[in-house]
Chain A
């Protein structure tokens, strides 16, 4: 560029213009040879024929409303079945006149999930959103919630302890004393409760009629099992991933053992264990809710997978990041929470969304222990002898609903990947 006079613009060459256009593209990609041309025509004809058949069956000759299955015979798709049974498909055996509650709960959960997808919410607000959203969801679904005193004290102890651990080195004296007081009240209360000084009092919130989890079904079950499965599996997965990289052989061995064991068995076997074998080990009279057992099994299962994803994120960090944090004198907890995890988690968010898609569909395995998620509720719709003989319509509809959810999640994951890779990242 030495021969360019100062102050003069360097002459920029425009890229060569592509004159081919649509016809050129078709010629180049579809009809570049005799063989390709014939293949194109044959495949095009096949696609048109299939499309024609499908439109004819699914729309032109379809029956949209009918008093019973017999009215559909000899016609196209029997959408009347879906029209008749959609409440059963979406909400399962939840009491019919109360089904506005699961509908509202689903709306709340979707709102929470969509809000969690927004990067601007990725801070303390997210905790508040999930706290309030979860409370609303379960209050709507159950109708009545009774919070025992012990749980309240336990949460106080947990929050106080976490505050002391995470804010210990930065907070001023007043804040630290606040955390300490909270933890102390929780611990003292728990002890008094256990030895029987405090009564077994509980906080009852009961605006609606009670609906036990055995009656839950349909889309809220699918969304709750998948969302809370991943939500609780996430911190467990982080701990497992960190443990797997630990220098301490006992911790490392435990974590590796757990991850490999869980990843080595199918989810179905874990669900059966949780529902059939776990009660056998419980003392007489103690029993967990079936839904809760399935949820715990999904959490334990998902944690192993999430741990491996997070381990990938941890390994992607250059060694220099660890060394710089060490050289500054940060301790292990500080190094992990301030330097390592924020970077590692950013890397693994897109694969985590993919895992979520997998678990969203995988939850239908809870059928095996008698819980009716969306797919199994749809199955239930076919049992009615009055409407027998139309499995295609039901499964097509279920597939369509699953597709809507999963496709939007996968688009989101793709968008997020682009979003996270620009701007502040190297």
Chain B
């Protein structure tokens, strides 16, 4: 697939469609009329102030949060209360969390092979081969038999990415993957994500790493108070933000 920032997506099929999605936490309207169409291979960065609904938006895609109005279709499967549909979608959508969420009682290798073995019913040997090749890709094969607690934050997050990739997902969701990391570890995680983006993975990434957005994003989405306020290609987005709220936000995070 394309290796530069702008690759042609006009003919790519759409893999996620969100139509008029609304969600409330109690009385609080956390998502307001979200319409979003994600093409196959598209890399989207979502940014915005805290509490703007960015995380909730991507967590709705794999049903960690339930939306109350509107439709979400992932790979042709409509999200509803049907458990079968939810499990089908979760098998194809990988997720990386801010706090890694590795399983502390399992070794790194077991963390990676768990889902392929139990969800995909893959033979153990095959799952371990895939796991080792992915650990090599995130550059920590030597940690395979350690426990998560023995690894640094950056290493844990790379393991978490490898764990999600083990299921061979078609879409990857990143929920602030570098926010819990010490500054010197942010780069090692971003490098892995950039590599992944260059291989053509469909990615939705909630992050404040604007360098990452400039380097790989096809589209940057700015959210505020539960709405998608503005979206554009990264160069245009950063150079000529149109909405006042976008300008204020960019001013806050870029010039300090």
A-side interface residues toward B, CB under 8 Å?
169-170, 318, 320-321, 323-324, 326-331, 334, 338-339, 342-343, 346, 423-426
Contacts and interface: CB of A to CB of B under 8 A. Distances in A.
Contacts of A338: 114, 118
A324 B97 contact: yes
A330 B94 CA distance: 13
A192 B91 CA distance: 43
A346 B103 CA distance: 13
A328 B99 contact: no
A324 B147 CA distance: 17
Contacts of B118: 169-170, 330, 334, 338
Contact of A328 (B83, B90, B121, B149): B90
Contact of B105 (A318, A320, A324, A424): A424
A221 B97 CA distance: 52
B25 to A, nearest CB: 15
Given A330-B119, A426-B149, A324 B114 contact: no
B101 A169 contact: no
B104 A426 contact: yes
B196 interface: no
A329 B91 contact: yes
A324 B103 CA distance: 9
B57 to A, nearest CB: 15
Contacts of B64: 323, 326-327
Contacts of A424: 104-105, 147, 149-150
Interface residues of B, number: 30
A239 B101 CA distance: 25
B115 to A, nearest CB: 4
A52 B93 CA distance: 76
Contacts of A423: 147
Given A328-B119, A424-B149, 16 more contacts: A169-B118, A169-B121, A320-B97, A323-B97, A324-B101, A324-B103, A326-B90, A327-B62, A327-B64, A327-B94, A327-B95, A328-B163, A329-B119, A329-B167, A338-B118, A346-B105
Contacts of A343: 103-105
B103 A321 contact: yes
B117 interface: yes
B199 interface: no
B59 to A, nearest CB: 8
Contacts of A170: 117-118, 121
A247 to B, nearest CB: 12
B148 interface: yes
B191 interface: no
A324 B118 CA distance: 14
A195 B150 CA distance: 60
A320 B99 CA distance: 8
Contacts of B236: none
Interface in B28-87: 62, 64, 83, 87
